């Protein structure tokens, strides 16, 4: 092999690819105002949903915690009473926490939930400055009643 095969051909091949990329139309978005469309199977922000009546869907069964391969979900269940009813079942999650630093966003918690209480939405702006802020509590995860 000569100098032509070792140096010049790879160099011209690389420059050809670069020239082709320079000819493409550039796509620029003004990020906070404009957001790129996400793929249909995107999974990011966890949300605890409610029924139309305002009751929580989570019944405290801990199936989401059992299905989680990263073991980042903690559920503590309590019994519903006639005076204080949080979910339509016998129990509800009095404490529901997700450690978002450990979460791998696999979606197994969503698939394991029998009532559809935990869903992963396409909100991907999850940055924080403190480690403690990455522990999402039930109050942070529960969707507001007005968003139905």
Domain with residue 67: its CATH number is: 3.30.70.3270
Q: How many CA atoms lie within 13 A of 21 on its CB side?
A: 6
Residue 76 counted as domain residue: yes
- Among the residue ranges 10-19, 75-84, 113-122, 127-136, the one predicted with the least confidence is 10-19
Rounded Cα distance between 136 and 142, Å, is 10
**Beta bridge mates, 45:** 121
pLDDT tens digits, one per residue of 19-78 = 888 888 888 888 889 888 888 888 889 999 999 999 999 999 999 999 999 999 999 999
Helix (H, G, I), strand (E, B) or coil at 140: helix
Helix (H, G, I), strand (E, B) or coil at 63: helix
Residue 138 counted as domain residue: yes
Whole-prediction pTM value? 0.75
Residue 13 counted as domain residue: no
Rounded Cα distance between 65 and 112, Å, is 9
Residue 12 counted as domain residue: no
Residue 27 counted as domain residue: no
Name the band, by pLDDT with cuts 50, 70 and 90, for residue 1: low
pLDDT tens digits, one per residue of 126-148 = 899 999 999 999 999 999 886 44
Number of domains composing the chain: 1
Residue 14 counted as domain residue: no
Residue 118's φ and ψ, nearest 5 degrees, are -100, 125
- What is the model's pLDDT at position 2? 66
Rounded Cα distance between 68 and 120, Å, is 14
For residue 107, give its domain range: 45-147
Neighbours of 99 (CB within 10 A): 16
Hey, what's the torsion of the CAs at 38, 44, 48, 54, to 10 degrees?
A: -20
């Amino acid at each position: 092999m000569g100098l032509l095969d070792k140096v010049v051909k790879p160099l011209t091949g690389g420059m050809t690819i670069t020239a082709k990329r320079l000819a493409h139309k550039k796509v620029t978005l003004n990020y906070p105002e404009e957001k790129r469309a996400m793929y249909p199977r995107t999974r990011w922000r966890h949300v605890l949903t409610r029924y139309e009546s305002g009751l929580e869907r989570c019944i405290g069964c801990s199936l989401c915690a059992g299905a989680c391969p990263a073991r980042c979900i903690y559920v503590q269940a309590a019994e519903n009473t006639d005076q204080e009813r949080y979910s339509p079942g016998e129990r509800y999650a009095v404490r529901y926490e997700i450690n978002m630093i450990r979460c791998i966003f696999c979606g197994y918690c969503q698939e394991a939930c029998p009532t559809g209480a935990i869903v992963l939405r396409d909100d991907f702006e999850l940055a924080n400055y403190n480690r403690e802020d990455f522990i999402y509590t039930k109050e942070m995860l529960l969707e507001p009643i007005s968003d139905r």
